[in-house]
Structure 1
């Protein structure tokens, strides 16, 4: 429940507080319409999808629907016509299937918010290696989409990113150390990627703004690399379900004064580190 509320609050903050333009700039306007190149990109994105829930019923290229800023799930900058928000999150009864092609969205260069979570990609695409092209992204939620392959190191180039959720895919390989460059990141969830392996990069300890970290139910191994002073704002830490992760000493855990949620079940050597529970 706590993590759900955090997601909701964070999404609202992305929509209302963290944009660099006034909120009125996201409202539809009869004077500034969407950019033709971006509309074409969105229509290409739609082509690969099966939409049994009519989520994209407004995405049409006829005379009365050419302004993509008025399409469902899209908000634009009223001053430029750029697509800034693309929110097509699915739900239990309403979701998209088919080929979820992030390549089709490359031209949305001013997008700040992208949520495609809880849809299902039958094509089993890899996460786009050019994800670093979305330089203005602050919020990225691709959880439970069925992407596979390695986490692209180019994500480390998204210097404005504050929220990253890749939970529940089929990602494999190691966590790229370049994620430690995301100095503004507050929320990171890579859990339930059952083939994600290797050690936790020590570079993630540099994420001084991080408040939520979930690496639960992966194949991560080795010692948790963080030291006293790392992740000082962390209030939710979930590493459970990783049988090969270990805790070497308790000083770092004891130093997390903001911590309210902790999940370390299945870590093998906790029996030798229980004194930190007094924190």
Structure 2
């Protein structure tokens, strides 16, 4: 039987106390069923065991549980003793039981194999109960902030394979008690953020410590030196994965007994100055965020021969990429961003010299000092990179031909010419394209954008010109469009309203800040057409983009009025229409934008500033970091500016909310469908 109550408090109105009452009653009932099935009770006595209280509790419990595969289908039968199911999976994580006691259940969870109560807010006294769960194979107690003193309960969990005590406190006096009582069949031990430090881990462990263990995670603790790794000395050579990230290790010398068996080694965000490893089985090595210096290592060393993923980002490596990179014949992911690496000369078609892994499909060399001309990557038989980030380097020349690319970031380089080479991209799965810079020019051609899966398009800070063509509306999945600081002219294409497909997430840059903003995107959310030469009026059609969060149309030549139905953009957090030639009033409907936190309307507006709690937070004098929301509009009046309103300068054209709300049934229907994800 599978029982999942994850996020139950958000899905059901049932309280934690009532949930445990129902579970207690449910398990008690199955004890009676078990007893009945093993006895010679008469049919009359059998029916007595199924009390009305038990039968009435069944529907309430059933409604509170996940039943995707129908294991509770028999629960409608009047005779409770014919209900089927044995509880072996219980998932209660990410709830808030407010320190409630976990019911004892009188040992009736003896068949339970999986118990997850991470971040559940249950009382620490549950640590006195797992001994009753003798068949458990998976136990997650993470994120409950327990102060673990005794581990006697582990004696009874002889079948346990996975134990997670992360984000609980395992003190110095408790550490040896823990490791000496770990079940012999344990395969995975998670001890993230447990307050462990070097002193308590500096002694080798004695005894048969978890002879089958394959995964150990002691990340986000207070380990500082290699002596803190001595406790691993007597561990079996079965260990395949070791996670030491977010400690403060200066060196990481591993005991030889486990070095040769490791397949995944994570050391990111420590303070490593040096690193050595002899394992020939290593598949994943993560050294991101350390203080490693000097030239890149000789990748022909046996320790790297099996690597499929290598991350050396955020270090201090310098010098050039050598041909030894070609020794990594199995490499799939290479991340070396934010160093000072150079490239002397690319060699077509292998980029870094003969033999570069034909499996390499993810390459991130951004924020280095690389220069030169990028070669075309035309043949999938030589190098099939589908995701590439070479931004913030010094590459120049024409854009390369990359027909098979799915994710491409070439921003902040010195490329010249037009976007025409991108007409050769044949991939149907291009989702991210960023080539912002200063030197690219020309008009946008329709052949450039056949990509129905494109989520993010960023061409900012170039010299592109001409009209923003209507074919952009055919990019149905587009979530973020940035054409800032170019020379585009004409009007805002109405076809943008056709960018309506629904997706969950993507990486975008917005509000003028140079950082990655990641969130649930839904429909089209970010558009930046600022600092161009756009004219004409802002069409009411732009308010069809119902999920817009941050439109920036500033520094153009737009005329006319602010759309009166702007209140349809209920998700707006940032709105910048400044430095255009807009006139008229601020629509009273803007008072409905309750999420608005950034506003700049520097134009020729007049009349009363609408009254609302949200708009009242914007001040004409403003503070550092906020827009001067109403500055430049000399004819505005209201409490936010120096001119106070009189009867003569109130808004003469106050819109009729009933007409606005009833005038567009299609938009009402579309918004309702969008809210539930279609």
**Could you tell me the TM-score, scaled by structure 2's length?**
0.30
Q: Go from structure 1 to structure 2 and tell me whether the alpha carbon gap of 1:161 and 1:102 turns closer, same or farther (over 3 Å shift).
A: farther
Structure showing greater Rg: 2
Q: Which residue is equivalent to 1:43?
A: none
Q: Distance in 2 between matches of 1:138 and 1:128?
A: 19
Q: Go from structure 1 to structure 2 and tell me whether the alpha carbon gap of 1:131 and 1:198 turns closer, same or farther (over 3 Å shift).
A: farther
Q: Distance in 2 between matches of 1:85 and 1:72?
A: 6
Within 5 A, what are the aligned runs for 1:35-184?
54=371, 56-57=373-374, 59=375, 66-69=382-385, 73=389, 82-90=404-412, 94-101=413-420, 103-121=422-440, 124-183=441-500, 184=523
RMSD: 3.1
CA deviations on 1:118-171 (whole Å, 9 max, x unpaired) are: 2412xx310122344111100000111211000010111111110100011100
Q: Which residue is equivalent to 1:6?
A: none
Q: 1:230 aligns with which of 568, 585, 598?
A: 568
Greater RCO structure (CA 8 Å; 6+ sep): 1
* Contact 2:549/2:572 (<8 A) preserved: yes
Deviation at 1:248, TM superposition (A): 3.3
Q: Go from structure 1 to structure 2 and tell me whether the alpha carbon gap of 1:200 and 1:106 turns closer, same or farther (over 3 Å shift).
A: farther
* Contact 1:106/1:134 (<8 A) preserved: no
* Contact 1:201/1:225 (<8 A) preserved: yes
Q: Distance in 1 between matches of 2:466 and 2:495?
A: 17
Q: Go from structure 1 to structure 2 and tell me whether the alpha carbon gap of 1:87 and 1:261 turns closer, same or farther (over 3 Å shift).
A: same
Q: Which residue is equivalent to 1:185?
A: 524
Question: Number of aligned pairs?
Answer: 220
Q: Go from structure 1 to structure 2 and tell me whether the alpha carbon gap of 1:255 and 1:102 turns closer, same or farther (over 3 Å shift).
A: farther
* Contact 1:138/1:163 (<8 A) preserved: yes
Q: Go from structure 1 to structure 2 and tell me whether the alpha carbon gap of 1:55 and 1:250 turns closer, same or farther (over 3 Å shift).
A: farther
Q: Distance in 1 between matches of 2:493 and 2:609?
A: 31
Deviation at 1:83, TM superposition (A): 2.1
Q: Distance in 2 between matches of 1:83 and 1:174?
A: 31
Q: Secondary structure of 1:160's match?
A: coil
Is 1:269 matched up with 2:605?
yes
* Contact 1:28/1:69 (<8 A) preserved: no
Q: Which residue is equivalent to 1:28?
A: 332
Deviation at 1:273, TM superposition (A): 2.6
Deviation at 1:105, TM superposition (A): 3.8
Q: Which runs of 5+ in 1 are unaligned?
A: 1-23, 35-51, 75-80
* Contact 1:185/1:210 (<8 A) preserved: yes
Q: 1:200 aligns with which of 538, 551, 572?
A: 538
Q: Distance in 2 between matches of 1:190 and 1:181?
A: 17
CA deviations on 1:172-211 (whole Å, 9 max, x unpaired) are: 1111111112222110000000x21111121110111110
Q: Which runs of 5+ in 2 are unaligned?
A: 1-308, 310-330, 334-356, 362-368, 391-402, 501-522, 618-678
Deviation at 1:274, TM superposition (A): 2.2
Deviation at 1:84, TM superposition (A): 1.2
* Contact 2:546/2:569 (<8 A) preserved: yes
Q: Go from structure 1 to structure 2 and tell me whether the alpha carbon gap of 1:142 and 1:156 turns closer, same or farther (over 3 Å shift).
A: same
* Contact 2:388/2:407 (<8 A) preserved: no
Q: Go from structure 1 to structure 2 and tell me whether the alpha carbon gap of 1:249 and 1:56 turns closer, same or farther (over 3 Å shift).
A: same
Q: Which residue is equivalent to 1:44?
A: none
* Contact 1:250/1:273 (<8 A) preserved: no
Deviation at 1:226, TM superposition (A): 4.1
Q: Distance in 1 between matches of 2:409 and 2:442?
A: 20
Is 1:259 matched up with 2:575?
no
Within 5 A, what are the aligned runs for 1:209-224?
209-224=547-562
* Contact 2:387/2:405 (<8 A) preserved: no
* Contact 1:167/1:192 (<8 A) preserved: yes
* Contact 1:55/1:95 (<8 A) preserved: no
Q: Distance in 2 between matches of 1:261 and 1:95?
A: 33
